[in-house]
Each structure stands twice: as structure tokens, then as C-alpha cells.
Amino acid sequence: MISPLSQLPTAVNRLPNALTDIALQNSRQMDDPHHEQINYAQQLFLVVDNVPEMRQSMAFTLSAIGANKVEFATRVGDALAKIQKQDIDIILCDYDLEHPADGLHLIEEIKLRNLAKQSCVFMIITGERRAQNVIGAVEQAPDDYLLKPFTGDALIRRLDRAIRKKREFECVDDFILRHEYLRAIEECNRHIRNKHQYALDFMKLKGRMCLQIGDHEAARQTYKQVLLVKPLAWAKMGLGKSEFHLKHYALAEQLFNEVLEENGQVMEAYDWLSKILAAQGEFERAQHVLQNAVRISPTIVQRQKQLGSLAHRNKDYGVAEQALKQTIQLARYSFWRDPGDYADLSRVQLDKGDIKAAQQTVSEVRKDFPKDPNAVMVSYVMESLVSGKAGDKNAAHTALELAQKQFQLLGGEVPERYTLDLAEACYRAGDEAQAEQLVRGVLKNRNEDNDILNRISGLYESIGRTEKGQILIEEANADLISINNQAVTLAKAGNLEGAVQLFIQAVTDMPANVQVTLNSINALLAYVNTQGWHASYMQLAKEYLEKVRKQEPSNGKYQRLVQTYQQTLIRHADKLRGGR
């Protein structure tokens, strides 16, 4: 059967309006008269709208089609709470909730936090009054949209099409919600091999999951296969991301430019194009690309934050300040809300020479996060830096002491970003030993996180110690390489027990280092599979797997080790039955 997607016009001929693109795609999914009628009484709806009359109207319309399980929310926060507590089948969300956190934020949070099942239908309802925000909503890929005013028949037709298509993906729902991406990919492969009606859609889902787990070569091959069938923009985007991760920057840049030439409203292409340019050190061009994107669609928090970071690096303080202010405003009612953004803003204001504005930002973070213990520490760090810039050394020292006390009260368990802010304040106050200890602590657990490494490099560059930062990064990497080499040497000498114990100690010393934890799991399972059943080692492997699941559930190595753990349990099932 030919996929309905294959009936779409090529990307080159697509209409310029992004909402029209969605309408065109869905209109091609023609109703099949042989489909059994959808029983809406079995579907759990969530209607998100802040206007009482619209909620009443929607309740009446849904009741007319037999839907009797309907939840209502007036704000994004209420909607998220319901989505996390209940198994929602269909979300009907008005875009303009007349609140900074609107329908766009809801789509963004659901997708990024993996809150809803893959078969959940998300439909945006909008008056298309604010073109910029509507484009942003399309960027987050709702399943369909309805323009106000609309009839009940129009709603039913759109729902019927969306639900019938989404039902085909129920087979992967549980796997994805449990972060079992390898099993979900296997299910996608089965449907692709069987030439399912929505084979291209299963390829799209497979490609996305391959990117999530870091299997960039598999993602690359998947998207190339799609492009052999049809030059779809999403496949070019996926291929571009794959090439980027494989460090084929020139090819990735070419692909994203092609996407934008075909449709300048594919906003994510701007983000990736900027990322490619920054990876090659072309920071001014990277900033220019994001500025163009922000002019078209200014409501994405992460885009504004990245623009602020790039502009700050380029010493374009005016653009940086405006972008970070927008970041704070847009994130105020979402899970992106972060006191660290206030710290970044105050740093820009200090570099700009506007001490008064930086002092105001300190006041704002305290007002906006009155009960957040991390924000308390961040605010003292900001106050120390502001006071130091103002020449008040006593006030700077006092604020730094309060920040350090708060850090200790939190047991040092604070986000690495805030710890590095504290390290900068220590450096500027002349406490180099404490600053270096803080940086080494971060590196011990996050030596493979490029964002953290870039922040560390930026920190040392800002204090005129670029070489020192690079030395610390290299030393952290050398320490981990040494542990792995020692473990390999012990294993080759037949001392698997010694290798296991070495890794267990490494996890104790570096509890938040995902790579060390994964290496430890691998050693524990290797021991059981070669030396025989060891109940305590299997229990420890289970605990370590759970730890990684909470940190990086989409990590490719974690995904493979989960399967190895399950296979090991099956292999030793007799030991489990015997209680040994």
C-alpha cells in the first residue's frame, strides 16, 4: 500500500504558510469508508482553554459525538498536572491562553519531557491572530490544528483522521514511555519491513529515536532511505542532525540550508545551522542566524537563551541582554524556569558596565524564587560579583561567604551550572584553591558534557586563565582513562573481581558520572556471565541502571545494557527460582 505521505507534493512546491502545510498533509489522509467508527466514549479528552464559554462550547460538541470522559484545564500548569496523573488520549488546546505560558509551551514540555504516549493526539485551536506564535506552534508539531471559528463536523473530521493514524503507533507507546527505545525501534523495523501503510512515519519515529540514543549512523541510514523515496523536509532535517553528530559539518550545513531555501518557516533548521557554525568557531555567523530566527518566531525559550549566550561571547551586550530578558520572561511559567538565566543576565549587564541593572536582576531572582534553595545560593553569587564590580570588597566577601554556606547546606548537590558560577565568584574574590576544587568536582562527574566543558572554558577565558581551564579538563579525562585502563589490565590478567571492585569504587568517588556508572554495570554483568550467578552484583547492576535511567534514559549504552541485564536474568532464571 502506498503511504499517504507519498501523495504529498515535494518540499520545493510546498505552500509557504506553515499551518497550511499541516492542513494539506492531513487533508491527504483521506477517510476510508471501511474504517470502523471511532468510539469517543472510550477516549479521555483534555481541553485546555481559559475562556469559560469556549470550554462550555467544546463540552457540548464533545458530548454530541459521545465523548463523556473530558477533563478541563485553564492554564498550562494545570494541564501538565493532569497529563502526568492520567492517561490522556486527546488534547485539544487553545493557543492563545492569554498568559505567558500558552499552548506552545504545553506542546514543548510534553514532547521534551516525554509526558504523553506516542498515540496521544494533540490538536491546536487558534484564531491565527499572531502569526509569529502560530509558526512556533507548528514548529512543535501538533498533530493537527483548527482555525476559529469551526463547526462540530470539522472537529470530528480532523479528530477521526488524527486518531486513526495515531492508533497505528499504539504498538510503541509502552516502550517509549518506559524509555525502552531499542524495543521501540525493533517494533518500527517490523512495520517498515511489512510495508505498513504508515511506513514512512515509522521511519520518521525510528530516526528520531536513533538520534535520541546516540546511534547517529543508524539515524543517518534511516533518513537517507526516506529521501530515496521522497525529498521530505523532516528527513533532510534528520539527516542534517545525523551528519552534525558525525562531525560532517559541511554536509550538515548544506542540508539545513536546502531546507530553509524550500521553506523559510522550518524554524528548527535555523537552530541547527547556528549550532553547526558555532561548532566550527564561526560565532558571529551563528549569532546572525539565530537573530533571523528570533525575528520570525521569538517564543522558543532555548533559542533566546542560545542567542543570549552567543551574543555575550561576541561581546554584543545589547543583543545578549535583550535575549536573556526574553528567556526569563518566556520561561517564567514553564519548566524551563531557571535562576541560572538571571545569573547569566547579570553577568552580561556587568560586562556592559550597567551595575544598577545587574543589582536589579539580583532583586528579581530573589523575588521570583523566594523558596528555592538553589536560587538562594545563586543570588548570593550574583550579589558577590555585582558588589565586586562596584568596588565594594567587603560586601562581595560577605555575599560569597553566604553563597558558600548555602552550598554546604545543600551538601554540594546543586546543578553544575550554579557550581561553576560559584567557582567564578571565588576566583574573582581571590580564593583560587576553593574555585579550582569546585571546578574539579564538576569535571569529575561531567567530563563528557560539551555544554559544561564550554562553560568551564568560558569561565577561565573570562578571568584570563584559558590555559588553566584546558589543563583541568585534560587532567579529568586522563583520570578516567587511567581507571578504564587499570580495569582492562586486571580483566586481561584474569582478575575480574578486581576490575569490578575498581569500578564500584569509581562510582563511589564519582556518583554522578554516567559513563563511569555504565562501565561499572558492564563489568558487573560481564562477571556474572563469565563467572556465574552473583546475587549482590546483579542487585548492584539493577541499582546502577535505575540511577542512569533517572539521569540519561535515552543513553545508547544504557539501552543496550538494560537488554544485557534482562538477558542475564533469563539465562540464570533457575538461580532466581531457587532463591540463590
Could you read off the pLDDT of 465-501 as tens digits, one per residue?
Answer: 999 999 999 999 999 899 989 998 998 898 999 999 9
Q: Give a yes or no: residue 339 inside a domain.
A: yes
Q: Are residues 51 and 146 in the same domain?
A: yes
The CATH number of whichever domain residue 338 belongs to comes to 1.25.40.10
Q: Give a yes or no: residue 200 inside a domain.
A: no
Which has the minimum average pLDDT: 30-44, 177-191, 382-396, 538-552?
30-44
- Is the pLDDT at 37 greater than 80? The verdict is no
Last residue of a domain, one of 419, 441, 474: 474
3-state secondary structure of 46: strand
* The C-alpha cell that represents 219 in the structure block: 539515524
Q: Are residues 534 and 419 in the same domain?
A: no
Q: Give a yes or no: residue 36 inside a domain.
A: yes
Last residue of a domain, one of 444, 474, 504: 474
Q: Which residue from 525, 539, 449 is spatially nearest to 491, judged by alpha carbons?
A: 525
- What letter does residue 126 receive in the DSSP assignment? E
**CA distance readout (Å), 128 to 76, 131, 149, 295, 398:** 19, 6, 11, 18, 52
pLDDT at 506: 93
CA distance 503 to 507: 6
Q: Give a yes or no: residue 385 inside a domain.
A: yes
If you average pLDDT over residues 150-170, what whole number do you get? Answer: 86
Q: Are residues 312 and 366 in the same domain?
A: yes
389-443, pLDDT tens digit by residue?
Answer: 999 999 999 999 999 999 999 987 899 999 999 999 999 999 999 999 999 999 9
- Is the pLDDT at 244 greater than 50? The verdict is yes
Q: Are residues 99 and 51 in the same domain?
A: yes
- Is the pLDDT at 20 greater than 80? The verdict is no
Last residue of a domain, one of 134, 150, 167: 167
Q: Are residues 519 and 446 in the same domain?
A: no
SS3 sequence of 432-478: HHHHHHHHHHHHHHHCCCHHHHHHHHHHHHHCCCHHHHHHHHHHHHH
61-111, pLDDT tens digit by residue?
Answer: 899 888 989 999 988 888 999 999 999 999 999 887 766 667 777 887 888
Q: Give a yes or no: residue 121 inside a domain.
A: yes
Q: How far is CA 78 from the centre of its chain?
A: 21
DSSP string spanning 371-403? T-HHHHHHHHHHHHHHHHHTT-HHHHHHHHHHH
Higher pLDDT, 290 or 38: 290
**CA distance readout (Å), 271 to 105, 109, 198, 244:** 18, 18, 28, 12
CA distance 124 to 103: 7
The CATH number of whichever domain residue 70 belongs to comes to 3.40.50.2300
Instruction: State the average pLDDT for the chain.
Output: 87
**Alpha helix stretches (DSSP H) within 213-266:** 216-229, 233-245, 249-262
Say if residues 277 and 283 touch (Cβ distance below 8 Å). Answer: yes
The β-bridge partners of 145 are 124
Range of the domain at 350: 265-474
- Is the pLDDT at 122 greater than 60? The verdict is yes
pLDDT at 296: 86
Q: Are residues 508 and 466 in the same domain?
A: no
Say if residues 432 and 426 touch (Cβ distance below 8 Å). Answer: yes
Q: Are residues 56 and 161 in the same domain?
A: yes
> In angstroms, how far is the first alpha carbon of the chain from the final one?
53
Q: Give a yes or no: residue 137 inside a domain.
A: yes
- Is the pLDDT at 136 greater than 70? The verdict is no
pLDDT at 152: 78
pLDDT at 173: 86
Q: Give a yes or no: residue 14 inside a domain.
A: no
- Is the pLDDT at 17 greater than 50? The verdict is no
Q: Are residues 457 and 507 in the same domain?
A: no
Q: Are residues 500 and 378 in the same domain?
A: no
Predicted confidence band of residue 294 (pLDDT cuts 50, 70, 90): very high
pLDDT at 576: 64
Higher pLDDT, 167 or 185: 185
Name every residue whose Cβ is closer than 8 Å to that of residue 177 and which is 6 or more positions away in sequence: 114, 117
194-230, pLDDT tens digit by residue?
Answer: 988 889 989 999 999 999 999 999 999 999 999 999 8
CA distance 263 to 260: 5
Name every residue whose Cβ is closer than 8 Å to that of residue 441 and which is 6 or more positions away in sequence: 412, 419
CA distance 445 to 205: 32
Q: Give a yes or no: residue 209 inside a domain.
A: no
Q: Are residues 90 and 136 in the same domain?
A: yes
Other CB atoms within 10 A of residue 482 CB? 10
pLDDT at 254: 97
Q: What percent of the chain has pLDDT over 90?
A: 64
Classify the phi-psi angles of 192: left when phi > 0, otherwise alpha if psi is within -120 to 50, otherwise beta: alpha
Q: What are phi and psi of 317, to 5 degrees?
A: -65, -30
Q: Are residues 443 and 533 in the same domain?
A: no
Rg (CA), the chain: 26
- What letter does residue 508 receive in the DSSP assignment? H
Q: Are residues 383 and 531 in the same domain?
A: no
The number of distinct structural domains making up the chain is 3
If you average pLDDT over residues 360-376, what whole number do you get? Answer: 96
The CATH number of whichever domain residue 502 belongs to comes to 1.25.40
